[in-house]
Amino acid sequence: MTDRPEGTVNPAVRNDAVMEFLLTRRSRPAKTLKAPAPDRAALRPILTAAARVPDHGKLEPWRFIVLERAALDRLAAMAATHADRIGLAADSAAKGIAQFSESPLAVAVVHVPRPTDKVPEVEQTLSAGAACLALLNAALASGWGASWLTGWPAHDADFAARALGLRPGEWIAGFVHIGTEGAVPPERPRPDLDAITTWME
């Protein structure tokens, strides 16, 4: 036992470096990411961190698909064909194609709903979103540039199923693009904390 008053910070577990990272972290624009990207050995601890998120019931309602260069080229071609087939506007089509053609590496975070009466699906969805953010932050903390995107390739169920082999009920929570960052983007305005926070006594 210690004499530390209840409710005070425990200096033994405080991590100022992590807090500083969280207070200053920011995504890097996907279009600025270049090769090289992390290899499999470098990506493994990043994925391990991404899987260490709140997960009520230990359901693991997410999985990862790592898209390396050859896979990204195939998906870019499939995206072009699909966009043409459904008559997508040229600018929207180009953005979706570029997600794959210009990315040095991407990880698709797939939401995998698990049938259970104990954990509502919305909690499983939130866990998948947490996995996306944990993956993004782990990549940034490891010294890579990273960006979490969705866009029509994530939201078009037919494309996602064809391109990524998703099973019924699965969907893309996000594509996390990872690579070597170019120029660090300028800081952008952040939320007004007082405007979004209510203190209840």
- Whether the per-residue pLDDT at 72 is higher than 60: the answer is yes
- The CATH number assigned to the domain with range 29-182 reads 3.40.109.10
Token readout for 201 is: 């006594």
**d(Cα 185, Cα 111) in Å, to the nearest integer?**
30
- For residue 182, the model assigns a pLDDT of 78
Q: Please state which of the ranges 32-36, 67-71, 187-191 shows the lowest mean pLDDT.
A: 187-191
Examine the pLDDT at 79 and tell me if it is beyond 90: yes
Q: Which residues are annotated as a binding site?
A: 25-27, 52, 56, 148-150
Give domain limits for the chain.
29-182
pLDDT in tens, 135-161: 999 999 999 999 999 999 999 999 999
Q: Which residues are annotated as a binding site for FMN?
A: 25-27, 52, 56, 148-150
pLDDT of residue 10: 78
Please give the residue that has the higher pLDDT: either 9 or 133: 133
Burial 162-194 (b: 16+ CB within 10 A, else e): ebbebeeebbbbbbbbbbbbeeeeeeeeeeeee
CA geometry: angle at 122 spanning 119 and 126, to 5°?
105
- pLDDT over threshold 50, residue 106: yes
Q: What is the pLDDT of residue 1?
A: 43
| pLDDT over threshold 80, residue 112 | yes
- Confidence class for position 186, pLDDT limits 50, 70, 90: confident
